Amino acid sequence: MRRYAIPFTLVFLLLPITVFSQSRPPEAALNHFKNALKKGGNGDFDGAIEDYTRAIRLSSHLNASQSSDSRLGNSLTDYSTESVTVIDPFTANAYNNRGLVRFKKNDIAGAIEDYDQAIKIRPGLASIYMNRAAALRAKGDLQGALQDLDRAIAFKKDYSEAFSNRGSLKLDLEDNAGALDDLNRSIEINNRIPEPFYQRGYVYMALKQFDRSIVDFDRAIKLAPDMAWAYQGRGTAYMYKGKMLEAIADFTRALELDPQIAWAYFNRGLAKVYMGHENEAQKDFDESLRLRPDMKAQLEQRIQLARHLRRIGNQP
């Protein structure tokens, strides 16, 4: 398994069409939902969770029955609603979105609970399975995540984002061929989104096809110039090719866009060691360990490798 996981694509749900029908939820619930979307977008995760919770309470009521409502979505999976009777699919969207916010707060268990509730209400909605897969992956349940992505694709055959996420997950599972198939399929469906390109770039890197890897990272950056992980990936590919100046420039750009990418500090430090700038490198290593203390075990080994490669490169 590779040393770091590529972030999954996640999907927030907006107001469903039924909100504008005769069965619309209370106006107060709609207002809380809209406020939660704004707060989440502005980084106010606690405020967003509070508003989604209020929207859920206003649009549903507790009931001890175990009936299901065919209006609420595809009934291909047998889920009961023993704890909640839902007015309309709006409530499922609120659960899904609250799960996403909890996921961003690293409340993985809470996120999974919300996705479970959303799936009980709308068992045929592919995007909820895709989102739950991200939480299961973060929990370490890679097979459970794979099953959810399989379900998402079964419900929506042309779901580019689900193919892209499943390709990334298969790379986690060291199924490089399967990962490449899924990412190629994602790009066939939609070649205007950056995620499958930078994810495929990591597959090519695992296959040691560094030139192809760089081409894919270039494409991702062209589509999304502010995608930090694409710069991190391209910098890593440059480092494998011995192009340390280009690598350092990409790691620096990645950190300008997202200062929380510990691997960008780690790899930039290694590139500086290779170039003989060990004092500067130590600052990067310190920051990478502050963000990810678990990196310490492999840090010294990789520093020694970078020094060894530097000595080999300097030999006449």
pLDDT in tens, 128-180: 999 999 999 999 999 999 999 999 999 999 999 999 999 999 999 999 999 99
CB 240 within 8 A of CB 202: no
157-225: CATH topology: 1.25.40
Tell me the three state secondary structure of residue 266.
helix
The model's pTM? 0.81
CB 179 within 8 A of CB 23: no
pLDDT in tens, 42-57: 999 999 999 999 999 9
1-143: CATH topology: 1.25.40
DSSP assignment letter at 77: S
CA–CA gap between residue 80 and residue 67 (Å, rounded): 6
Lowest mean pLDDT across 33-42, 66-75, 151-160, 185-194 = 66-75
CA–CA gap between residue 118 and residue 112 (Å, rounded): 10
- High-pLDDT (> 70) share of the chain, %: 82
CA–CA gap between residue 300 and residue 238 (Å, rounded): 21
Q: What is the pLDDT of residue 252?
A: 98
Range 228-316 has CATH code 1.25.40.10: yes
Say what the alpha-carbon torsion angle 220, 222, 226, 231 is, to the nearest 10 degrees. 50
Fold equal for 157-225 and 228-316:
yes
Tell me which residue of 201, 206, 129 sits closest to 175, measured CA to CA: 206
Element (H, E) at 285: helix 278-291
What ranges do the domains of the chain cover?
1-143, 157-225, 228-316
Mean pLDDT in residue range 16-28: 57
Lowest mean pLDDT across 54-63, 65-74, 187-196 = 65-74
CA–CA gap between residue 302 and residue 63 (Å, rounded): 58
